[in-house]
């Protein structure tokens, strides 16, 4: 987050055919500008990571992949 590694809590998961939804929570970030996510990207070429950010400023969704591991948040 914002160019730094952060700790997260595993909240839970849901499984469907060919899809696993993992829920992670990160606390104590004052302002989020940039996010990088490489979960499973090195293992699966077709891996996509849908990131949903919920904070006081609203909800934002990002789609990250092996080809695009970093995205930026604009509120």
The verdict on residue 55 lying in a domain is: yes
Q: Is the pLDDT of residue 2 over 80?
A: no
Total Cβ atoms within 10 A of residue 17: 4
Number of domains in the chain: 1
Q: What is the pLDDT of residue 15?
A: 93
Q: What is the pLDDT of residue 24?
A: 87
The verdict on residue 31 lying in a domain is: yes
Q: What is the pLDDT of residue 43?
A: 74
Q: Is the pLDDT of residue 75 over 70?
A: no
Domain with 53, as residue range(s), is 9-72
Burial class (CB in 10 A: 0-12, 13-18, 19+), 64: buried
The verdict on residue 20 lying in a domain is: yes
The verdict on residue 35 lying in a domain is: yes
The verdict on residue 2 lying in a domain is: no
The verdict on residue 3 lying in a domain is: no
The verdict on residue 23 lying in a domain is: yes
How far apart are the C-alpha atoms of 25 and 62, rounded to whole Å?
Answer: 16
pLDDT in tens, 13-64: 999 998 888 898 888 777 778 787 777 777 777 888 888 888 888 888 988 8
The verdict on residue 29 lying in a domain is: yes
Burial class (CB in 10 A: 0-12, 13-18, 19+), 57: exposed
């Amino acid at each position: 987050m914002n160019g730094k590694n952060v700790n997260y809590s595993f909240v839970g998961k849901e499984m469907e055919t060919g899809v696993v939804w993992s829920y992670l929570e990160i606390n104590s970030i004052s302002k989020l500008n940039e996010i990088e996510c490489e979960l499973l990207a090195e293992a699966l070429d077709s891996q996509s990571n849908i990131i949903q950010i919920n904070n006081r400023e609203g909800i934002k969704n990002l789609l990250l992949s092996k080809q695009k591991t970093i995205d930026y948040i604009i509120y």
